[in-house]
Structure 1
Amino acid sequence: MFGIGSDIGIDLGTASVLVFVKGKGIVLQEPSVVAIDNNTNRILAVGEEARRMLGRTPGNIVAIRPLRDGVISNYEMTERMIKYFINKTVGKKLFFKPRIIVCVPSGVTEVEKRAVIDATNEAGARTTHIIEEPIAAAIGAGLDISQPNGHMVVDIGGGTCDIAVISLGGIVVSTSIKVAGDKFDEAIIRYMRKKHNIMIGERTAEDLKINIGTASPRKDEISMEVRGRNLISGLPVNIQVSSKEMQDALEEAVMAIAEAVHSVLERTPPELAADIADQGIIMTGGGALLWGLDKLISNRTGIPVYIAEDTVSCVAKGTGKALDSLHILEQGSQNTRSKYL
């Protein structure tokens, strides 16, 4: 138990949840997966333990991702998952409920924001505040967003890619597209089915993406052995897959991200566009680690692209730094429990 000062920042991602506790840093990073027994409606596992069950469960046990494309798709499971992570982080017997900041994609509606706030409040928060992911990512990447300078952040998570131009602490131009890590996995699964007539699972697709996934041509080809089920014979087979094949599989998805970045730049005021051309574009989120994606965006826009240090944790760190400004949020925020009373 951390006691009275247990303010918490949560990066509630489609693929993973990161929890930042004030004074402690990031204390938890686990996949956003819940395993439940359909017969009893009892939660059997949450996080990494539940992820290991994906695609491997008997009929009565279901491993689900309660968040899809950056928003809640299963309210009850999301609430129970948040409650589990809060309890794991600060202990069950809290004398003081924590104040919590939760990250959401920049394109979510008021209804979707309310669902996140209500689920977090029900899970045990005293008050819940919302911060948009590009703002948190920029703060976590070490940018000084309070100045009248333009910064462009491309945050690629599991469900959404958020692209925003930030100046004076606010978002000037932004877009949020539902093309990110999960869509990369789906594209790889489709490619393997179409090209090789084999069916692979989500975890295998993710391994391919991490190990040999590529957005730009590599000098040296690399390959990886993959096991899947042959769709014609129905039997397990092993095949070698090359990074060139992964580039073909991911081409449509990565070009959609590059086009979205270009579209935001087209709508950016000229003074801010000049700042971005000087300082470059910052990429954050797990999807930014896809090999060659920074080079692809740089070639498409003609602007240098940099991957933030510790890119996976940027949003959670930014949320944690925002905890220091909670008093400002509480004075002027409309995103607390009182808004809906």
Structure 2
Amino acid sequence: MIFDKFIGLFSNDMAIDLGTANTIVSVKGKGIIINEPSVVAVQHDRYGRDKILAVGQEAKQMIGKTPLNIQAVRPMKDGVIADFEMTERMIRYFIEKAHQRKSFIRPRIIICIPHGITQVERKAVKESAISAGAREVFLVEEPMAAAIGAGIPVSNPDGYVVVDIGGGTTEIGVTSLGGLVLSKSIKVAGDKFDKSIIDYVRQNYNLYIGERTAENIKIEIGTAIKLDKELKIRVKGRDNSGLLSTIELGSEGVRSAIKEPLKEICSAVRNVLEDMPPDLAGDVVDNGVILTGGGALIRGLDKYLGDIIKLPVKVADEPLLAVAYGTSLVLNEEKLLRLISNE
């Protein structure tokens, strides 16, 4: 214990937002230093052994383009670990990259997890971080981290609603007094939007596109409301007859493609609001709802949600990094960490 404390003086404590789409790492005193896709590229040799070719941005470039002996894997699915071994390797890679050396000094690590994951899944996250070289692991729930990162005073006795739309899950949390009064996690988020766009393009244009193209369409022209000036994008893919062709897709098409997942998110937000204690409801009417996560960047989503739930909705300043900022703030405040990690 004393040795651990002594080692702690030399080690860089880290916070990891282990997301389905991106992993963001911040180090105490330095802020965010790594922001890369949660993808690992593995090469299999003829003896059945495998070695890691690339992690992060470089590996993401390979999705859908690999030869038979190389596989680009996304170890996180729907906010939880789908491939234990790959997650461990990915965390180890990020720890080594953050420390810039293979260090004997093991860092303390705070990891963000979706609300409502099982004890088994929590244990898997902890164990993969410890076998990747962590000295001590704290788990912080995503809605809580998103609220802190969005600048909400979580330890006050005021109710705030935060909706974090990530890659695999959408987390809805009501925070007050350093805890989550109500929380809900649904497996409808960025990946579902991408899948809906793939299906829409296939059904309406007879064109097959991949995940990366769909994600690009969502970022470039994705919208939740009718825009004054329609945005357009040229999309390349393979048609039914196996020929390669190009179509022009408009933002109205994308809007109707992602309509269903958006409805599911809105209905989950409404369910949380309906279950809220009356005193907190009064606070939320004043404070409104705050959107974080990559999904919050879809054009007009704040207006779309606000019209349905009849409350003011605003997007956090840097929605993509809100959870990472939250974990990085917790890293510097021991008291806040003990309060929200219940450890």
Give the deviation of 1:38 after TM superposition. 2.2
Which shifted more, 107-116 or 23-32? 107-116
**Distance in 2 between residues matched to 1:102 and 1:146, nearest whole Å:** 20
Map 1:183-332; keep pairs closer than 5 Å: 183-231=192-240, 233-326=241-334, 329=337
What secondary structure sits across from 1:93 in the alignment? coil
Q: Which residue in 1 is equivalent to 2:140? A: 131
Give the deviation of 1:330 after TM superposition. 6.4
What secondary structure sits across from 1:172 in the alignment? strand
**Distance in 2 between residues matched to 1:227 and 1:3, nearest whole Å:** 53
CA-to-aligned-CA distance 1:46-87 (integer Å, 9 cap, x gap): 000000000100011000100000000000000000000110
Give the deviation of 1:262 after TM superposition. 0.6
Q: 1:157 aligns with which of 162, 166, 178?
A: 166
**Distance in 2 between residues matched to 1:331 and 1:187, nearest whole Å:** 39
Letter in 2 for 1:169: G
2:22 is equivalent to residue 16 of structure 1: yes
CA-to-aligned-CA distance 1:12-64 (integer Å, 9 cap, x gap): 00000000100000000000000001223100000000000001000110001
CA RMSD of aligned residues (A): 1.6
What secondary structure sits across from 2:258 in the alignment? helix
Give the deviation of 1:4 after TM superposition. 1.3
2:10 is equivalent to residue 4 of structure 1: yes
| Aligned structure 1 segments of 4 or more residues deviating by more than 4 angstroms | 327-335
**Distance in 1 between residues matched to 2:95 and 2:146, nearest whole Å:** 22
Give the deviation of 1:244 after TM superposition. 0.6
What secondary structure sits across from 2:168 in the alignment? coil
The 3 A distance-change label for structure 1 pair 327 and 68 is: same
Q: Which residue in 1 is equivalent to 2:87? A: 78
Structure 1 residues not aligned, in runs of 5+? 336-341
What secondary structure sits across from 2:105 in the alignment? coil
CA-to-aligned-CA distance 1:303-323 (integer Å, 9 cap, x gap): 011100111111011101111
Give the deviation of 1:137 after TM superposition. 0.6
Q: Percent identity at matched positions?
A: 51
Q: TM-score, normalised by structure 2?
A: 0.94
Map 1:92-103; keep pairs closer than 5 Å: 92-103=101-112
What secondary structure sits across from 1:159 in the alignment? coil
**Distance in 1 between residues matched to 2:339 and 2:301, nearest whole Å:** 41
1:284–1:311 Cα contact (<8 Å) kept: yes
Q: 1:147 aligns with which of 144, 149, 156?
A: 156
Q: Which residue in 2 is equivalent to 1:112? A: 121
1:99–1:126 Cα contact (<8 Å) kept: yes
Q: TM-score, normalised by structure 1?
A: 0.95
Structure 2 residues not aligned, in runs of 5+? 1-7
Q: 1:26 aligns with which of 25, 32, 49?
A: 32
Letter in 2 for 1:308: A
Q: Which residue in 2 is equivalent to 1:339? A: none
Letter in 1 for 2:23: V
**Distance in 2 between residues matched to 1:74 and 1:133, nearest whole Å:** 20
**Distance in 2 between residues matched to 1:322 and 1:242, nearest whole Å:** 42
**Distance in 2 between residues matched to 1:328 and 1:303, nearest whole Å:** 29
Q: Which residue in 1 is equivalent to 2:42? A: 36
**Distance in 2 between residues matched to 1:331 and 1:131, nearest whole Å:** 10
What secondary structure sits across from 2:333 in the alignment? helix
CA-to-aligned-CA distance 1:101-138 (integer Å, 9 cap, x gap): 00001121111111000000000000000000010011
The 3 A distance-change label for structure 1 pair 65 and 99 is: same
Aligned residue pairs total 333
**Distance in 1 between residues matched to 2:137 and 2:215, nearest whole Å:** 32
Give the deviation of 1:331 after TM superposition. 10
